[in-house]
Structure 1
């Protein structure tokens, strides 16, 4: 009887699902539903639902059969390194557009260094859309 009572009081391990890769996923690849499958067994930091990872970008290589860790994923980049971007500066009613070159990759809302094509000055900008960044007064953290 004491053994049964002890078994009811002690915590039991929770069995949940974990996602594993079905193929080699290279860094900077965007995950699709066919790239992962559900397996029994829970691990800390591992995604459990395919909808958690679909559309995210791999930050590192994920090998077939290995768990898909949420820390290894991030938002997909919308600006690539060396891509020509439109730099937008807005202050009050003034809007200035200029062309620049992204010096790194960045996702929507991320900060990226951009070199102005005309002046060759580098500035920090925030990605607002595909191929568009915003510079200047709107960059408050």
Structure 2
């Protein structure tokens, strides 16, 4: 009988805001899709709009049922450390294209360190949305 009274008392409380939670355990580096999300009621803070999470990548492993927070997500990495990518240097009409080894990970818009494979010089480059690298002037 006590549980019935408790249940009735809890149902009389105002409804909690729905937040997004992980529908399954999401390993670090997972790109979020709609199937990875579910709405849960709770008092913990978190994202409530799916468009704020879909397409982003998890920074850490997120356990099933844990509310998603913006600090747990990041833009997807396009560049991984120690890969070889096209590097473009452009100044005015001069355009030089070569290959470079990446020295760190990077998402679109990030400035990362790279090593020019021909000269062995280390320089900074901006990650482009297509995955190429543009040398910083």
- SS state at 2:71 partner: helix
Residue 11 of structure 2 corresponds to: none
Return the alpha-carbon distance in structure 2 between the equivalents of residues 121 and 38 of structure 1: 50
Residues 79 and 130, structure 1, Cα contact 8 Å, conserved in 2 = no
Report how far residue 122 of structure 1 moved. Answer: 1.4
Distance 2:25 2:132 in 1: 32
The alignment status of 1:37 with 2:38, answered yes or no, reads yes
Large movers: runs of 4+ above 3 Å: none
What is the rounded CA distance, in whole Å, between the counterparts of 1:87 and 1:38 in structure 2? 43
TM-score by length of 1: 0.81
Q: CA deviation at 1:26?
A: 1.0
**Aligned residue runs from structure 1 range 82-93, under 5 A:** 82-93=82-93
Report matched runs for 1:66-105 at 5 Å.
66-105=66-105
Stretches of structure 1 that go unaligned for 5 or more consecutive residues are 1-12
Q: Normalization by structure 2: what TM-score?
A: 0.83
- Whole-angstrom distance in 2 between the partners of 1:116 and 1:60: 31
SS in 2 for 1:34: helix
Residue correspondences, number: 124
**Residue 20 of structure 1 contacts residue 67 of structure 1 at CA under 8 Å; is this kept in 2?**
yes
User: Secondary structure in 1 aligned to 2:104?
Assistant: coil
Q: 1:61 to 1:91 in 2, by over 3 A?
A: same
Please provide the CA RMSD for this pair: 1.6
Distance across 1 between alignment mates of 2:76 and 2:125 = 17
